[in-house]
Amino acid sequence: MTSDLSSFRCTLTNIPQTQALLNKAKLPLGLLLHPFRDLTQLPVITSNTIVRCRSCRTYINPFVSFIDQRRWKCNLCYRVNDVPEEFMYNPLTRSYGEPHKRPEVQNSTVEFIASSDYMVTVHCSLIRDLLNALPSMFTNTRETHSALGPALQAAFKLMSPTGGRVSVFQTQLPSLGAGLLQSREDPNQRSSTKVVQHLGPATDFYKKLALDCSGQQTAVDLFLLSSQYSDLASLACISKYSAGCIYYYPSFHFTHNPSQAEKLQKDLKRYLTRKIGFEAVMRIRCTKGLSMHTFHGNFFVRSTDLLSLANINPDAGFAVQLSIEESLTDTSLVCFQTALLYTSSKGERRIRVHTLCLPVVSSLADVYAGVDVQAALCLLANMAVDRSISSSLSDARDALVNAVVDSLSAYGAAVSQVQHSALMAPSSLKLFPLYILALLKQKAFRTGTSTRLDDRVYAMCQIKCQPLVHLMKMIHPNLYRIDRLTDETHLPELDTLSSERTRSFITWLRENRPLSSILHVVKDESPAKTEFFQHLIEDRTEAAFSYYEFLLHVQKQICK
């Protein structure tokens, strides 16, 4: 039995026995999480007794072993625990004495409705009243300055007694009061191939306020609707550290840019109607010998393995880097468990638990055979964002290229003693160079192509908080032929079969992502043609390699 791969993925599906073996493989080890995603089937368990290991507090799961009917062995710390009396009865089968058939032991993803000792507060909402009043509230206002900082401070004071979420709609640089910002972008540097400045915040005001909000169980969601530079690098901190979300609408104008207005409308509908968890904390546990050392996503790290999430939503993704601290030679399997404790909008305290179990291997060939290349890419992308901010964009780009060069070089050395002129890769890593090239051409990391600073920073924000499935669509977009569509899936609504199929196909594509996508029809003479060609990753651009050239570059680096 395996975990639901859409909720929980590891960069290596075969875990190396030792850190030395991992180092030899030159591959990243980490987890990609989508813990609160919308699920069509989720076993929900109501029980007075939630069975957990007495030592490490792991929740009972499909990968524990029963020594007998009365005792079970934890799969993370190996402690032997007693089976509580209530657990002996199975409410599904209405039988007694078969604890191994309980739903908690049959499913790798479950949700518990917690008892009263897990409870905190209940939330209510006045959103409808506000939305009805908004059109007339500021009709006569002529003020053009923005005092975002003081407004956020006031919202924080208002929300502190209950917690919840604050939705911020910002259209310009904050220009008055605490948290005011100056323009830091030089438009002449947008195509720079060397140094990209100001990827980090100009002030710690927004981070400090976000941490205060997090402490009072309040998340701040930022909607940035701006035609000018707004210093998203600074403003994003209010959402990053309070477990909020960031939405960005460049060149937004209600009448002159109707497609962006439509996108905002659809995104807002999803934002207001999707499931939400309040006052959440997420803890990740792993088998003894493994350790976590860096988390990625929008949250506040409360302790070594506990993330504080004032809000959790179905579109939020997280990543964590792992290392092997002690040899895993005594075990054939390792397990990871994520437990997300939250309050539902109905006031119920719930715990969603995901458990993943993977084999331990001792050979380099087995490590390479088990690479999840998309998970590895997304973890490396997260790491590259951090490096861009803490060091430089060029350092981050070098690290991404080195990730391909080092892993393929290590693989070539492992499988052959003879120097090969051809580039060698295991089947699991065949797409690794292509995906890394795609990442280098992404707005977050590209150089030599005119890129607005806010656009670049927003792309970095998305990398840090998007679940893998949506992040991959951003890094390596799919290209479809639409002249041969079949019946399974706005363009001109013609009364023809091909028009009907194309429209239904595009609707299907749009429904499979959390953020609304704008449809652009790009004709040959359109100025948007350049933007479209930037998504054709295998092609050469003025500033970047073609796929073939990149493969030659990697090969050259390996042969040095």
pLDDT of 362 reads 96
- 41 and 105 together in one domain: yes
Q: Are 69 and 99 in contact (CB under 8 A)?
A: yes
How crowded is residue 407: how many other Cβ atoms within 10 Å of its Cβ?
Answer: 22
Distance in angstroms (rounded) separating the CA atoms of residues 92 and 541: 60
The pLDDT value recorded for residue 491 is: 57
Does a structural domain hold residue 558? no
Q: Looking at 364, 398, 431, which one is the last position of a domain?
A: 364
pTM, whole model, 2 decimals? 0.92
Query: Among the three residues 413, 446, 476, which one is the final residue of a domain in this structure?
Result: 476
The answer as to whether 388 is a domain residue is yes
Q: Are residues 380 and 457 in the same domain?
A: yes
- Indicate whether 281 and 316 sit together in one domain: yes
Distance of CA 16 to the CA centre of its chain: 25
- For residues 161 and 264, membership in a common domain is answered with yes
pLDDT the model gives residue 2? 45
Number of domains forming the structure of the chain: 3
Residues 205 and 244 in one domain: yes
Q: Are residues 81 and 12 in the same domain?
A: yes
Contact 433, 550 (CB under 8 A): yes
Tens digit of each residue's pLDDT (9 = 90 or more) over 48-104: 889 999 999 999 999 999 999 899 999 999 999 999 998 888 877 888 888 888 999
> What's the pLDDT tens digit per position in 136-149?
888 888 888 999 99
Predicted confidence at residue 60, as pLDDT, reads 96
Residue 421, pLDDT score: 64
Task: Identify whether residues 451 and 462 lie together within a single domain.
Answer: yes
3-state secondary structure of 17: coil
Q: Is 145 left (phi over 0), alpha (psi -120 to 50) or beta?
A: beta
Q: Are 76 and 109 contained in the same domain?
A: yes
CA distances from 496 to 198, 434, 452, 491, 502 (A): 51, 38, 41, 12, 10
For 345: left if phi > 0, alpha if psi spans -120 to 50, otherwise beta; the answer is alpha
The verdict on residue 484 lying in a domain is: no
Residue 234 sits in the same domain as residue 322: no
Distance CA 471, CA 9 (A): 14
**Residues sharing a CB contact under 8 Å with residue 370, sequence separation 6 or more, in sequence order:** 12, 13, 14, 361, 428
Q: How many residues does the chain have?
A: 560
Examine residue 410 and state whether it is found in any structural domain, yes or no.
Answer: yes
Residue ranges making up the domain that contains 439: 371-476
The low-confidence residues of the chain, meaning pLDDT below 50, are 1-3, 120, 122-124, 490
253 in a structural domain: yes
Q: Is residue 152 located within the same domain as residue 266?
A: yes
